């Protein structure tokens, strides 16, 4: 195969989208930034990747990315998950921009389900892929209704839902896509990031953009904006904690993935953020790499 | 020592190679040509063009070949290509009244001007597997055809009803009304009828058929009669700005279904039948009939009817009709969700241990 | 018309529309995300006289046939209206309230902010973005800005705005989530004031 054919996609505009589409998305992004947390409807296009695979995030990235950018794409915190690889390749082929695994080097980071562990800076933009942009959708399936609820700031149902959790389970059972309130006004879906990542959104120096392709919505959190996870005085918001540290780098402050290592169900915990983990290991942090929960073989 | 899983890139490349190999199947058998698909799998091509919103038999055939016969995947391929095309002009509304009719039937009148033209249809075939086809049968004997371009235009059933004022009038929008384009602007509610029809025309045939069927079984009954179904070629015209009059730029085959539905009237207005409408590319009767049923159901509110059945709920129908959107979101569940699942796992473990502790404590007391 | 069109032809748009629209957009996005930050754009443009390079760059980047642009009466038949239609194909908005964008020079009589599209409670994004050409963005009245995008407080200096401007702006603030957004330009300088920004003088 001709390697040149493999690296560039001829016949398409820079970043795939035509200029009129980019302008339409750019206008939506500007309004999204002006109204933090409000979902701006936009004329989402049919992309060559399926809905649900990040078409919203891809359209946002395509509308902002330029030749000077350095792009990082992660899925579940890792650069080498299949869909992250596929999206990174899409942009490498349609823009020719430099890509990186290094969080610190990236100027644009497209993500699905995680915020990198390393704090982001003012020189970075974080683009989230969003499946369901409407935080009230599970409580009210009708768009006309939820739109009115946002307009009137009628968020009682959300608090009732969270409180019902407490009544039933003794705590709020939502563990990802945990609703937040942006700039004391709009309730917003942070996309299915674990609630562990919610505090990182608050007063983040980087601009955060959210794209939902199938649902045709774009929203944003400007830098240095208050983002509050919903809670109650007697049940304050809290994030997950693990009994273990990363089996590879020993980190005790990162989000851990559970890996099953044998047929008995023994398991170990490793950082979900692959760049964070490898950087720590390069800096000399090591752990024994052994399963932390060992399930003994049943007697023969 | 455990090493984190790597190699997504190579795995993807290999998957693509496997897919290409599998698609071709056994190379000892001749490869399908696009002509074979568009000639002999014409209904598949028609469906892909209709739901793909692009009238191009060759590209639809290519999409079907590439998708290995998976029509929803083929529709997706055609749609993704369509998005990259410039929109050069908006055509004049096609005139189905001036169609070169190949098939035309009415379930409401035994005979009518222009007659019933059965045309090519499965309707009265006995569904017996034809083993002659398996043995690469010869070309079938030619059928007798009526002159496919009748001298006069064939009036529509709804025109007869119109003449007697028996059916609601349907007036064309003024030329100034901008045609909505769902592929460029997001769906918004309340959605007008033009937008709804556009959504239904692009909608999944299976979904519309099930919804239409549900109205027949009583979930929002509309008393439908198939007033007329016609299929044939119509001219496509545009008005170039510099000319100021319409010129024909091509011809497409379409199927149109006009349902005559539940009459309504009041103390101040005489009873009249109402309408449901369906239109699709090529020969697609099932699709257009289902579309007409659902179109009529979605008008429940504007016609002052109870609207509590699924097919009468515009948000429910229009947000779930698109098979490219639905296919993507249903199947995205196979993408990694490690992080969300891990979060749930932690929650369930915590809740279990808390509850266990409470129960143990209670038992001890 | 032919003369105006000739002028428009002479005053070119972006030499590289794809890349320049992208880089300009990123500057605008930066300005919008960080109110009070002044960015420099449009230096390579030579729009018709009376229009700032930054204002022209902004419109070239975001305006097209889908966005009606409102111009004050003094600009309605100017070379700039022709330039705009030629390069962006955007319709000229007949009234301020139906405009996606409005270009206003402080030398012109400015309609009140409330005359422009404010958006609705359900669709606050359907509000006009005003591009206001001021004298300077590096001297003049000292403003202290706060709100989303700003860490604590930031300073911006503007000269040329009438005294009533800031009381109008405070009224605009109270309409949130509705209300207009502002782009202030001076030559190639551009600063943004989204509707969330609180201004102290």
* B159 has pLDDT over 50: yes
Supply the residues of A annotated as catalytic.
Answer: 37, 246, 249, 271, 277
Calculate the average pLDDT of chain A: 93
B301 touches chain A (CB under 8 A): no
pLDDT of B121 above 60: yes
Higher model confidence: residue B133 or residue B197? B197
Give the total residue count for chain C.
201
- Put simply, the chain B residues between 54 and 83 with a CB less than 8 A from any chain A CB are 76, 79-80, 82-83
Please tell me which residue, C132 or B111, carries the higher pLDDT value: C132
In the beta sheet, which residues pair with residue C145?
C154, C199
Under the banding of pLDDT at 50, 70 and 90, the label for residue C8 is: very low
How many degrees, rounded to 5, is the angle at CA B14 between CA B12 and CA B15?
A: 65
How far is CA B281 from each of CA B201, B208, B231, B291, rounded to the nearest angstrom? 9, 16, 9, 13
Where do we find the tokens 């559970």?
A258
Alpha-carbon torsion angle C85, C89, C94, C95, nearest 10:
-100
CA-based nearest residue in chain A for residue B182? A43
Q: Do A13 and C124 touch (CB under 8 A)?
A: no
Contact criterion met (CB < 8 Å) for B332 and A144? no
Q: Is the pLDDT of residue A85 over 50?
A: yes
Contact assignment for C61 to A26 by CB distance below 8 Å: yes
Has residue A255 got a pLDDT over 50?
A: yes
Q: Which residues of A touch C120 (CB under 8 A)?
A: 151
Question: Using omega within 30 degrees of 0 as the cis cutoff, is the peptide bond preceding A210 cis?
Answer: no
Q: How far is B333 from chain A (nearest CA, A)?
A: 8
Identify the residue with better confidence: A35 or B85: A35
Nearest to C129 by CA among C83, C167, C181: C181
Q: Which residue among B82, B328, B351 places its CB closest to the CB of A53? A: B328
Nearest beta carbon to residue A66 from set C26, C33, C195: C26
3-class SS letters over chain B: CCCCCCCHHHHHHHHHHHHHHHHHCCCCCCCCCHHHHHHHCHHHHHHHHHHHCCCCHHHHHHHHHHCCCCHHHHHHHHHHHHHCCCCCCCCCCCCHHHCEEEEEECCCCCCCCCCCECCCCCCCCCCCCCHHHHCCCCCCCCCCCCCCCCCCCCCCHHHHHHHCCCECCCCCCCCCCCCCCCCCCCCCCCCCHHHHHHHHHHCCHHHHHHHHHHHHCCCCCCCCEEEEEEEEEEEEEECCCCCCCCEEEEEEEEEEEEEEEEEECCCCCCCEEEEEEEEEECCCHHHHHHHHHHHHHHCCCCCCCCCCCHHHCHHHHHHHCCHHHHHHHHHHHHCCCHHHHHHHHHHHHHHHHHHHHHHHHHHHC
Q: Is C29 left (phi over 0), alpha (psi -120 to 50) or beta?
A: alpha
Q: What is the mean pLDDT of chain C?
A: 91
- H/E/C letters for each residue in chain C? CHHHHHHHHHCCCCCCHHHHHHHHHHHHHHHHHCCCCCEECCCCCCCCCCCCHHHHHHHHHHCCCCCCEECCHHHHCCHHHHHHHHHHCCCECCCHHHCCEEEEECCCCCCCHHHCCECCCCCCCCECEEEEECCEEEEEEEEEEECCCCCCCEEEEEECCCCHHHHHHHHHHHCCCCCCEEEEEECCEEEEECCCCEEEC
Mean residue pLDDT across chain B: 90
Q: Per-residue pLDDT tens for A231-253?
A: 999 999 999 888 899 999 999 99
pLDDT tens across B220-251, in order? 989 999 999 999 999 999 998 888 899 999 99
More confident residue, A165 or C21: C21
Mean predicted confidence (pLDDT) in C168-180: 97
pLDDT exceeds 90 at position C150: yes
Per-residue CA distances from B211 to B214, B276, B293 (Å): 5, 14, 8
Between chains, do A27 and C100 touch, taking CB under 8 Å as contact? yes
Residue A282: predicted pLDDT: 95
Rounded Cα distance, A20 and C63, in Å: 9
ipTM of the complex in this document: 0.95
Averaged pLDDT for residues A68-82: 95
DSSP state of A47: P
* Cα–Cα dist A137/A122, whole Å: 32
| pLDDT value, residue B183 | 92
CB pairs under 8 A between A and B: 152
Contact A28 C19 (CB under 8 A): no
Residue A171 confidence (pLDDT): 84
By Cβ distance, the residue of A13, A20, A185 closest to C177 is A185
Task: Return the pLDDT at A2.
Answer: 37
Rg (CA), chain A: 21
Measured CA to CA, the distance from residue A161 to residue A139 in angstroms comes to 8
Q: Which of C107, C101, C106 shows the shortest CA–CA distance to C61? A: C101
B336:A173 CB<8 A: no
Is a pLDDT exceeding 60 seen at residue A118? yes
Q: Chain B partners of A290 at a C-beta cutoff of 8 Å? A: 1-2
Q: What's the pLDDT at C2?
A: 44
pLDDT of B241 = 80
- Determine the distance in angstroms separating the CA of A207 from the nearest CA of chain C, rounded to an integer: 7
pLDDT digit string, tens, across residues A262-290: 998 899 999 999 999 999 999 999 998 88
pLDDT at res. C66: 92
Which residues from A are below 8 Å from C181, CB to CB?
A: 30-31, 34
Q: Across the beta sheet with A125-129, what order do the strands follow?
A: A40-41, A217-221, A207-212, A125-129, A108-112, A70-75, A98-99
User: What pLDDT is stored for residue C162 in this prediction?
Assistant: 83
**What tokens were used for B279?**
């239109």
List, for residues A184-226, the tens digit of each pLDDT value.
Answer: 999 999 999 999 999 999 999 999 999 999 999 999 999 999 9
Which chains contact B through at least 3 pairs of Cβ atoms less than 8 Å apart? A
Find the distance separating the first CA and the last CA of chain B, reported in whole Å. Answer: 47
Region A64-88: mean pLDDT is 95
- Taking the Cβ of residue A204 and every Cβ of chain C, the question of whether any pair is shorter than 8 Å is answered with no
pLDDT score, position A221: 98
pLDDT attached to residue B6 = 61
Chain C interface mutation, best of A14, A25, A30, A210, highest count of C Cβ atoms under 10 Å: A30
What's the residue count for chain B? 365
> Does the pLDDT at position A86 exceed 90?
yes
How far is A17 from chain C, CA to nearest CA, in Å? 11
Q: Is A187 on the interface with C (CB under 8 A)?
A: no
Tell me the pTM. Answer: 0.92
Hey, what are A271's tokens? 């950082």
Q: Which residue has the higher pLDDT, A208 or B266?
A: A208
Contacts of residue B101, Cβ cutoff 8 Å, sequence gap at least 6: B114, B117, B148, B150, B154, B230, B231, B232
| Residues ≥6 apart with Cβ < 8 Å to A38 | A32, A150, A186, A219, C124, C125, C177
Q: Do residues A160 and A11 touch, judged by C-beta distance below 8 A?
A: no
Please state, in angstroms and rounded to a whole number, the distance separating the CA atoms of residues B236 and B251. Answer: 5
Residues of chain C with C-beta less than 8 angstroms from the C-beta of A29:
29
pLDDT at C157: 96
What does the block give as tokens for A245?
């540290």
Quickly state the pLDDT bin for B4 (edges 50, 70, 90). low
Closest chain A residue to the Cα of C125, Cα to Cα: A31
Lowest-confidence segment of A84-93, A239-248, C24-33, C189-198 by average pLDDT:
A239-248
**Neighbour subunits, C (≥3 Cβ pairs < 8 A):** A
Q: Which of A28, A41, A222 sits opposite C33 (nearest CB)?
A: A222
Chain A: closest CA distance from residue B194 (Å): 17
Confidence of residue B3 (pLDDT cuts 50, 70, 90): low
Token pair belonging to B350: 């915590």
Of A237-251, B32-46, B316-330, C112-126, the poorest mean pLDDT is in A237-251
Which chain C residue has the Cα nearest residue A219?
A: C125
Give phi and psi for B112, each to the nearest 5.
-160, 160
Chain A residues whose CB is inside 8 A of the C149 CB are 33, 222-225
Share of chain B above pLDDT 70, in %: 95
Query: Do residues B214 and B90 make contact, with C-beta atoms less than 8 angstroms apart?
Result: no
Q: Which chains touch A (3 or more CB pairs under 8 A)?
A: B, C
Q: What burial class does residue C193 get, using C-beta atoms within 10 Å of its C-beta: 0-12 exposed, 13-18 middle, 19+ buried?
A: buried
Residues of chain A contacting B184 with CB distance shorter than 8 Å: 43
Given a contact cutoff of 8 angstroms between Cβ atoms, the answer to whether C48 and C7 are in contact is yes
CA distance C89 to C63: 8
């Amino acid at each position: 195969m001709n390697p040149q054919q493999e690296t560039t996609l001829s016949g398409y505009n820079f970043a795939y989208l035509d200029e009129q589409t980019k302008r339409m998305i750019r206008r939506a992004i500007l309004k999204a930034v002006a109204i933090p947390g409000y979902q701006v409807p936009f004329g989402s296009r049919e992309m060559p990747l399926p809905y649900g695979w990040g078409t919203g995030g891809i359209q946002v990235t395509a509308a902002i990315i330029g030749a000077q950018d350095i792009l990082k794409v992660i899925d579940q915190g890792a650069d080498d998950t299949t869909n992250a690889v596929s999206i990174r390749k899409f942009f490498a082929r349609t823009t020719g921009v430099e890509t990186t695994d290094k969080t610190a080097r990236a100027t644009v980071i497209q993500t699905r389900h995680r915020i990198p562990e390393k704090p982001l800076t003012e020189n970075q933009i974080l683009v989230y892929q969003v499946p369901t942009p409407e935080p009230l959708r599970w409580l009210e399936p009708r768009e006309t209704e939820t739109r009115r609820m946002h307009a009137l700031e009628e968020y009682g149902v959300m608090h009732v839902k969270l409180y019902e959790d407490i009544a039933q389970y003794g705590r709020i059972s939502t563990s990802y896509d945990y609703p937040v309130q942006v700039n004391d006004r709009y309730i917003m879906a942070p996309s299915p990031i674990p609630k562990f990542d919610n505090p990182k959104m608050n007063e983040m120096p980087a601009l955060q953009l959210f794209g939902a392709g199938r649902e045709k919505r774009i929203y944003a959190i400007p830098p240095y904006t208050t983002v509050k996870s919903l809670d109650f005085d007697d049940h304050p918001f809290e994030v997950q904690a693990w009994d273990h540290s990363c089996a590879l780098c020993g980190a005790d402050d990162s989000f851990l993935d559970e890996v099953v290592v044998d047929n008995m169900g023994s398991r170990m915990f490793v950082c979900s953020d692959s760049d964070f983990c490898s950087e720590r290991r390069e800096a000399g942090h090591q752990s024994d790499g052994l399963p932390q929960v060992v399930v003994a073989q049943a007697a023969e | 020592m455990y090493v984190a899983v790597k190699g997504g890139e190579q795995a993807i490349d290999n998957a693509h190679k496997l897919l290409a190999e599998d698609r071709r199947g056994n190379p000892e058998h001749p490869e399908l040509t696009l002509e074979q698909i568009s000639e002999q799998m014409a209904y598949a091509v028609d469906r892909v063009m209709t739901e793909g919103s692009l009238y191009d038999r060759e590209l639809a055939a290519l999409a079907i070949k590439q998708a290995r016969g998976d029509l929803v995947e083929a529709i997706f391929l055609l749609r993704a290509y369509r998005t990259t095309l410039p929109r050069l002009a908006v055509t004049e509304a096609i005139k189905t009244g001036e169609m070169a009719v190949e098939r035309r039937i009415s379930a409401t009148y035994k005979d009518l001007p222009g007659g019933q033209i059965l045309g090519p249809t499965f309707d009265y075939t006995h569904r017996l597997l034809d083993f002659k086809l398996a043995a690469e049968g010869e070309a079938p004997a030619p059928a007798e055809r009526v002159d496919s371009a009748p001298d006069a235009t064939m009036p529509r059933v709804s025109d007869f009803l119109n003449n007697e004022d028996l059916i609601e009038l349907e007036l064309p929008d003024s030329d100034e009304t901008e045609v909505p384009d769902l592929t460029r602007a997001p769906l918004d509610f309340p959605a007008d009828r033009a937008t709804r029809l556009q959504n239904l025309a692009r909608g999944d045939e299976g979904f519309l058929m099930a919804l239409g069927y549900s109205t027949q079984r009583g979930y929002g009954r509309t008393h439908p009669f198939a007033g007329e179904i016609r299929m044939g070629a119509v001219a496509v015209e545009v008005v170039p700005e510099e000319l100021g009059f319409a010129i024909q730029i091509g011809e497409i085959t379409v199927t149109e279904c006009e349902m005559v539905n539940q009459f309504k009237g009041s103390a101040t207005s005489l009873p009249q039948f109402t309408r449901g409408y369906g239109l699709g590319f090529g020969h697609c009767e099932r699709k257009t009939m289902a579309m007409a049923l659902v179109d009529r159901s979605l008008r429940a509110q504007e016609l002052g009817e109870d609207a509590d059945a699924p097919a009468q709920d515009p948000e429910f129908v229009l947000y779930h009709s698109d098979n490219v959107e639905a296919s993507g979101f249903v199947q995205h569940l196979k993408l990694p969700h490690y992080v969300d699942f891990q979060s749930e796992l932690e929650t369930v473990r915590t809740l279990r241990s808390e509850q266990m502790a409470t129960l143990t404590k209670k038992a001890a007391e | 018309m032919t003369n105006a069109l000739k002028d428009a032809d002479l005053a070119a748009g972006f030499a590289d529309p794809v890349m320049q629209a992208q880089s300009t957009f990123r500057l605008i996005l930066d300005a919008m995300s960080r109110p009070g930050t002044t960015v420099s754009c449009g230096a390579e443009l030579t729009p018709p006289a009376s229009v700032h390079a930054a204002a022209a760059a902004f419109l070239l980047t975001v305006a097209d046939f889908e966005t009606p642009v409102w111009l004050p009466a003094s600009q309605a038949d100017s070379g700039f209206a022709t330039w705009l239609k030629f390069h962006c194909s955007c319709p000229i908005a007949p009234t301020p309230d139906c405009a996606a964008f409005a270009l206003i020079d402080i030398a012109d009589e400015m309609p009140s902010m409330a005359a422009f599209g404010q958006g609705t409670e359900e669709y606050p994004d359907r509000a006009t973005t005003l591009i206001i050409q001021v004298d300077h963005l590096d001297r003049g009245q000292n403003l202290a800005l706060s709100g989303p995008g700003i860490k604590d407080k930031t300073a911006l200096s503007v000269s040329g705005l009438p005294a009533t401007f800031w009381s109008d702006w405070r009224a605009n603030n109270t309409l949130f989530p509705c209300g207009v957004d502002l782009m202030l330009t001076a030559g190639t300088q551009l600063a943004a004031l989204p509707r969330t920004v609180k201004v102290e003088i």
